[in-house]
Amino acid sequence: MTERDTELSKRLVVGRKCDGRSVYDKDAKRELIEACRRPGVSVARMALQHGVNANLLRTWITRYRREDDKAVVAGGAGAAATLPAFVPIIAPRMSAVRSVFRLHARLANGVEVDVSGLGGDELSSVLSLLSKLPCSDSTPG
């Protein structure tokens, strides 16, 4: 444990509640949370070194992350340093790409439907027409 960690441990607990739970210094708590968020740091080890329950420290980290996310969404302090939530996508021109669908179906009543080679617009029209046809009396539904 480094000298900085020892100093942080001393500043972390500032008192006790009447039921025995510890009262923590906000600045020291935030410093510990930020130390835990560095890559490669074991939260369990940091909790053990600073005399804090690991589950409690994970709860603090989760709460801190949520508050940080809210600040970014609201345009708070960290908003300028983050990437935008949505990135524009440039789709290929649809006129240059023609999708061809293959569909061959044999229905229970023996009718065969083959719409192979149709484009997206044509297939959409055929399916729309088929959906408007009444069902036969021999087929339930």
Note whether residue 89 is domain-resident. no
Going by C-alpha positions, the residue among 23, 47, 26 that lies closest to residue 35 is 47
Give the count of domains, the chain. 2
- Asked whether the beta carbons of 53 and 47 are under 8 A apart, the reply is yes
Residue with tokens 């100093």: 7
Note whether residue 129 is domain-resident. yes
Task: For residue range 2-38, list pLDDT tens digits in order.
Answer: 777 778 888 888 889 999 888 999 999 999 999 998 8
Note whether residue 44 is domain-resident. yes
Tell me which H or E stretch contains 50. helix 43-50
Spell out the per-residue pLDDT of the chain, length 141, in tens: 677 777 888 888 888 999 988 899 999 999 999 999 888 999 999 999 999 999 999 999 999 888 887 776 666 554 455 556 666 677 666 555 556 667 777 777 777 778 777 777 777 787 777 777 776 655 555
Do 58 and 30 lie in one domain? The reply is: yes
Structural domain containing residue 118: 95-133
Note whether residue 83 is domain-resident. no
Predicted model pTM: 0.49
